[in-house]
Amino acid sequence: HHAKRRENSICPYTQTMRYALQRRQLMSERLSAAISEQRLQLYFQPQVDLTNGRLTGAEALCRWHDAEWGWVSPGEFIPLAEERGLIRGLGDWVLEESARQLMAWGTQNKQALPGRLSINISAQQFADPELTQHIAQLTAGVPTNAISLELTESDFMRDLDQAVEITHAMRKAGYALSIDDFGTGYSSLAYLRRFATDALKIDISFVREMLDNRHDRTIVQTIIAMAQALEMKTVAEGVETQEQARLLAEMGCNEAQGYWFGRPLPADEFAAMWLSPA
């Protein structure tokens, strides 16, 4: 083993870094191809009303299956897409596919729409001052009130004035807006008010430890209180147990999403399980 390392005279650290870089390069090439050949998939995760367990909507989550690597986590390929300038192409596809799916469900049965469909928008999409019109074009045929846009908290901080402007344009067009992964960024009360969002999505990291860690419980309670004061809804992310669901409901959290209620599913399975039959 040792002899071999000396032989090619590259220290193991450099070697590891080189492999990581090569994998990222290869991954961005394959991801780029998967986007342009429309080989990504959308999964749908139910969002429920915590007071009665009823479906209020779904979140569209992007999935990528590579022939050699199998499923690649969005936690890996979304940041890569952002870094390599692929996120706009990916984001456009997600918007078009979401619209196609909503129209397919709506045509089968008007009663069978999943409520609002939440779509994740990344920082770089958000940098486009014409984003609202762009979204409307890509989802033409779907009423804007059938779509909720999820914006990540930290993305707002890059250009506050532009963020305020875009969020107002989105609201004016009829989209619902929520702030994703709330609690992990830097929003202040004053800014939150200016963004005109409808909902805060309480980050999974607080929900995960909520039952055992009283500080996390306090953070969750505080987010809910703040949202109520600002007349926004709260949606808890990553609810995995009945105890978490019960505590969140007691605390006044409005909606939840998580494995306890349902995992993200391909469109047909989601429809079979969650939408009323045609």
Note the residues at the interface with ligand C2E (CB under 6 A).
Answer: 45, 61-62, 73-75, 78, 91, 94, 120, 122, 150, 180-181, 204, 237-240, 257-259, 264
> Least separation, in Å, of the C-beta of 145 and ligand C2E?
20
SS3 content of the chain, % helix, strand, coil (to 5): 55, 20, 25
> Least separation, in Å, of the C-beta of 58 and Mg ion?
11
Rounded CA separation 10/218 (Å): 50
Burial class (CB in 10 A: 0-12, 13-18, 19+), 272: exposed
> How far apart are the two ends of the chain, measured CA to CA in Å?
64
SS3 28: helix
**181 versus 198: smaller Cβ distance to ligand C2E:** 181
Applying CB under 5 A, which part among 108-116, 131-139, 179-187, 213-221 lies near Mg ion?
179-187
Query: Among Mg ion, ligand C2E, none, what binds residue 264 when CB lies within 5 to 8 Å by partner kind?
Result: ligand C2E
> Least separation, in Å, of the C-beta of 111 and ligand C2E?
26
**72 versus 103: smaller Cβ distance to ligand C2E:** 72
Residue 257 DSSP class: -
- Interface with Mg ion, residue 180, by CB under 5 A: yes
**97 versus 180: smaller Cβ distance to Mg ion:** 180
What's phi and psi for 60, nearest 5 deg?
-85, 125
Neighbours of 46 (CB within 10 A): 24
AA identity, residue 131? L
Applying CB under 5 A, which part among 39-47, 173-181, 216-224, 228-236 lies near Mg ion?
173-181
Sign of CA dihedral 99, 102, 107, 108: positive
Question: Of 45, 47, 98, 120, which one interacts with Mg ion (CB under 5 A)?
Answer: 120
Question: Of 97, 153, 181, 198, which one interacts with Mg ion (CB under 5 A)?
Answer: 181
Query: Among Mg ion, ligand C2E, none, what binds residue 74 when CB lies within 5 to 8 Å by partner kind?
Result: ligand C2E
Tokens of 115: 């409520």
Tokens of 36: 């342009």
Instruction: Give the H or E element holding residue 255.
Output: strand 255-256
Rounded CA separation 146/249 (Å): 25
> Least separation, in Å, of the C-beta of 34 and ligand C2E?
13
> Least separation, in Å, of the C-beta of 150 and Mg ion?
4
* 79 contacts: CB under 8 Å, gap ≥ 6: none
Neighbours of 110 (CB within 10 A): 9
**13 versus 186: smaller Cβ distance to Mg ion:** 186
**162 versus 241: smaller Cβ distance to ligand C2E:** 241
> Least separation, in Å, of the C-beta of 120 and ligand C2E?
4
Rounded CA separation 174/110 (Å): 20
Question: Of 113, 132, 150, 220, which one interacts with Mg ion (CB under 5 A)?
Answer: 150
- Interface with Mg ion, residue 155, by CB under 5 A: no
| Residues binding Mg ion (CB under 5 A) | 120, 150, 152, 180-181, 237
